[in-house]
Amino acid sequence: MKKLFIETYGCQMNVADSEVVAAILSSEYQICDDIKEADLILINTCSVRDHAEQRIRKRLNELGFLKKKKPGLQIGLLGCMAERVKEKLLHEESALDFIAGPDAYRSLPTLIQEATFGKTAFNVMLSTEETYDDIDPIRYDTNGISAFISIMRGCNNFCTYCVVPYTRGRERSRNSKTIINEAQQLINQGYKEITLLGQNVNSYHSEEDGEIVNFAKLMEKVALLSPQVRVRFATSHPKDISDELIETIAKYDNCCKYIHLPVQAGSNTMLKRMNRVYTREYYLERIATIRRIMPECSIATDIIAGFCGETEEDHQATLSLMREVGYSSAYMFKYSEREGTMAAKRFPDDIPDEVKGRRLEEIIALQQELSLESNQKDIGKTFEVLVEGASKRSNNEYFGRNSQNKVIIFPKEDCHIGDYVNVLVQSCSPATLKGIIVKS
């Protein structure tokens, strides 16, 4: 059988998509983990910021050299960058044989064939229906413990800065039965943690046999499959995180007490310009509700620094909101203008790069403090930890995460990867907790 190497960039949805691609090509290609052995290399790409695309272009340059050394080697580009740049990419990047957008993976065998015969091979058609729900992803890069299930595709929110609605197309939910079946299969195979994925899982909606399944119901159905299996999700839009969902997470011990609720900015002017359709006050009310129902829940976020027209005052509002919420962690970015988005059309990208950089540094520095504070509060507490692997720093230690999604490192004792152990936290850094196993 021919050998396939897949390199994945971008978000978790891309990771899940690469697993679907591996399945689609499995009758002809076997996944390999040494790129030098590959007959076919696929690069699954991200377009969310310019930096992400630049990285991929550099990588294609390197792969061009590999191709010169190995005649017959084929290279294909998948994902959001294929969708955004389209067939132009084939002219710009000589290393590429073909490209396929996120909804075109079923046509990969044909594209590969066409490319073999020297045709210009691309498919960047978006679909309003494709969910790949009949395909059993091949989880080729797994610890056997945690798995992703993609429950929906696309996005209809059109935040003005964001390219995703253009690269992933319209929002569509996958049939809930196929999700439950996939979750059950994973559990049968010994997986201990399932993450349900979508750009905005809160708007999940499916109707089967007269039953309407919203995201809270879906979470519940997955949680009920096995109390021994954790359920997580990513990611949720603040505009529709419902009380029902918060209550469902609270109700089941195996629903992880961790919510990633990207705020993006702290001032109402910026939120409005971003088309996030909520206000600072509304967002803080949602946080208060989460805290009231689940005091132990940790909350993480995404923040963009230096969006169009952002004043010093707007920036201060982001910092004060961060303090008010006390995030346990955050993903923080400089605004990067994306061609074709509303922001690119309507608002000048007018914050100088140095100012964006300085604001981002302030945001990162504050988050370091908040992460440390949040972790310090855990010292002396005991958490149930799912053992995920050997610590990167030391052979005598394991790492795992608690329900709050915090990484905990502890000395190896009588336990294995995939076990749940109780760990007493004794010290911390902003990034991790350290502790010892205690008997329950």
Binding site for ligand SAH (CB under 6 A): 48-49, 161-162, 164, 199-200, 235, 237, 262, 264, 302, 304, 333, 335-336, 338
For ligand F3S, which residue of 16, 32, 48, 259 counts as binding (CB under 6 A)? 48
Report d(CA 35, CA 43) in Å as an integer. 12
* Amino acid at the residue 202: N
Dihedral angle of Cα 360, 364, 367, 368, to the nearest 10 degrees? -170
Give residue number: closest CB to ligand F3S. 10
For ligand F3S, which residue of 18, 146, 167, 402 counts as binding (CB under 6 A)? 167
Find the shortest distance in angstroms from Cβ 163 to ligand F3S.
Answer: 6
Which residues here bind ligand SF4, judged by CB under 6 A? 155, 157-159, 162, 164-165, 199-200, 237
153 in contact with ligand F3S (CB under 6 A): no
Find the shortest distance in angstroms from Cβ 196 to ligand SAH.
Answer: 14
366 binds, among ligand SF4, ligand SAH, ligand F3S, none (CB under 5 to 8 A by kind): none
Which of 79, 418 has the CB closer to ligand F3S? 79
Which of 263, 437 has the CB closer to ligand SAH? 263
For ligand F3S, which residue of 13, 24, 138, 287 counts as binding (CB under 6 A)? 13
Q: Which two tokens stand for residue 427?
A: 């010290």
Query: Would you list the DSSP string of 2-62?
Result: EEEEEEE-SSHHHHHHHHHHHHHTTTTEEE-S-GGG-SEEEEEE--SSHHHHHHHHHHHHH
Q: Nearest to residue 99, comparing CAs of 91, 114, 113, 111?
A: 111
Report d(CA 89, CA 81) in Å as an integer. 9
Report d(CA 300, CA 38) in Å as an integer. 38
Find the shortest distance in angstroms from Cβ 164 to ligand SF4.
Answer: 4
C-alpha distances in Å from residue 121, one per residue of 7, 130, 217: 20, 20, 42
Mapping DSSP to helix (H, G, I), strand (E, B) and coil, where does residue 373 land? helix
Find the shortest distance in angstroms from Cβ 306 to ligand SF4.
Answer: 16
Burial class for 269, CB neighbours closer than 10 Å (0-12, 13-18, 19+) = middle
Angle at 288 between CA 154 and CA 269, to 5 degrees: 60
338 binds, among ligand F3S, ligand SF4, ligand SAH, none (CB under 5 to 8 A by kind): ligand SAH
**283-286: Cβ within 8 A, 24+ apart:** 283/238, 283/321, 284/321, 284/324, 284/325, 286/238, 286/241, 286/261
Find the shortest distance in angstroms from Cβ 302 to ligand SF4.
Answer: 8
Report d(CA 287, CA 375) in Å as an integer. 19
* Beta-sheet pairing, 172-173 with 152-153: antiparallel
Find the shortest distance in angstroms from Cβ 402 to ligand SF4.
Answer: 27
Which of 13, 223 has the CB closer to ligand F3S? 13
CB distance 20 to 49 below 8 Å: no
Q: Backbone phi, then psi, for 77, in 5-degree steps?
A: -115, 130
Which of 53, 310 has the CB closer to ligand F3S? 53
Interacting residues with ligand F3S between 122 and 151 (CB under 6 A): none
333 binds, among ligand SF4, ligand F3S, ligand SAH, none (CB under 5 to 8 A by kind): ligand SAH
43 in contact with ligand F3S (CB under 6 A): no
Angle at 124 between CA 121 and CA 130, to 5 degrees: 125
Which of 200, 318 has the CB closer to ligand SAH? 200
For ligand F3S, which residue of 10, 76, 238, 266 counts as binding (CB under 6 A)? 10
167 binds, among ligand SF4, ligand F3S, ligand SAH, none (CB under 5 to 8 A by kind): ligand F3S
Find the shortest distance in angstroms from Cβ 144 to ligand SAH.
Answer: 28
Residues in the site for ligand F3S, rule: CB under 6 A? 10-11, 13-14, 46-48, 79-80, 163-164, 167-168
